């Protein structure tokens, strides 16, 4: 999907020397730059009028609009929407974009590309969080403990050094045939 290609779009558009239109979402004869600066996100709103303007810009109610706290992290006036994934939305409603379960013009979450249906999912779980954590932690802890014990007390098939016949291969290893051949017994009866 051509989601993050706003720069590409403005590159490919013909430079038409037409007037810049006030409402950029209705007509098709656009100026060279597609959207006006006041429709884009801006700095953090300080006065209630700025908040009302920002809420109108993002198509939200003034009471619903809540910007990120102004601690210099770079969010500006972008709204802080609830952290819910798209998977939680109604599958049977006729969304404008059914795959993303989103309507046209609806404000997108800052982490929208994280909350799509293929990725992070905040739907309710069959078991509650604490049970899940305890189960996982218990299993992983148990396995780690068992592996640790296995390192402490290894158990394997008994092994011995390899034994060779003919007195440990005395002649083959370069022993003199006339000399006294040392008797090597590798067995015990």
With beta carbons less than 8 A apart as the criterion, state whether 10 and 34 touch.
Answer: yes
Per-residue contact track with other proteins, 27 to 66, x per CB under 8 A? Answer: -x-----xx---xxx-xx------------xxxxx-xx--
Q: Shortest approach of other proteins to residue 31 CB, angstroms?
A: 13
Number of shown-chain residues binding other proteins (CB under 8 A): 45
Closest to other proteins by CB, 56 vs 150, is: 56
Identify residues 91-130 at the interface with other proteins (CB under 8 A). Answer: 96, 103-108, 110, 112, 121, 123-126
Distance between CA 13 and CA 30 in Å, rounded? 9
Closest to other proteins by CB, 50 vs 170, is: 50
Distance between CA 80 and CA 107 in Å, rounded? 10
Distance between CA 68 and CA 77 in Å, rounded? 7
Main-chain dihedrals φ then ψ at residue 79, nearest 5 degrees: -70, 150
Q: Shortest approach of other proteins to residue 61 CB, angstroms?
A: 5
Angle at alpha carbon of residue 40, lines to 90 and 6, rounded to 5°: 80
With beta carbons less than 8 A apart as the criterion, state whether 18 and 34 touch.
Answer: no
Which residues of the shown chain bind other proteins in the complex (CB under 8 A)? 3-4, 6, 24-26, 28, 34-35, 39-41, 43-44, 57-61, 63-64, 71-76, 78, 87-88, 90, 96, 103-108, 110, 112, 121, 123-126
């Amino acid at each position: 999907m051509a989601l993050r290609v706003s720069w590409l779009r403005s590159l490919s558009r013909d430079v038409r020397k037409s007037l810049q239109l006030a409402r950029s979402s209705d007509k098709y004869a656009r100026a060279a730059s597609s959207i006006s600066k006041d429709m884009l996100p801006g700095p953090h709103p300080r006065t209630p009028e700025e908040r009302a303007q920002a809420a109108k810009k993002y198509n939200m109610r003034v009471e619903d609009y809540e910007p990120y706290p102004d601690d210099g992290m770079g969010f500006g006036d972008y709204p802080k929407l609830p952290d819910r994934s798209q998977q939680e939305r109604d599958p049977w409603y006729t969304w404008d974009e059914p795959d993303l379960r989103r309507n046209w013009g609806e404000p997108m979450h800052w982490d929208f590309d994280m909350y799509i249906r293929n990725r992070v999912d905040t739907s309710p779980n069959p078991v509650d969080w604490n049970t899940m954590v305890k189960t996982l932690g218990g299993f992983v802890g148990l396995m780690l403990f068992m592996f640790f014990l296995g390192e402490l007390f290894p158990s394997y098939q008994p092994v011995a050094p390899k034994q060779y016949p003919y007195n440990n291969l005395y002649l083959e290893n370069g022993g003199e045939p006339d000399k006294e051949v040392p008797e090597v017994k590798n067995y015990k009866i």
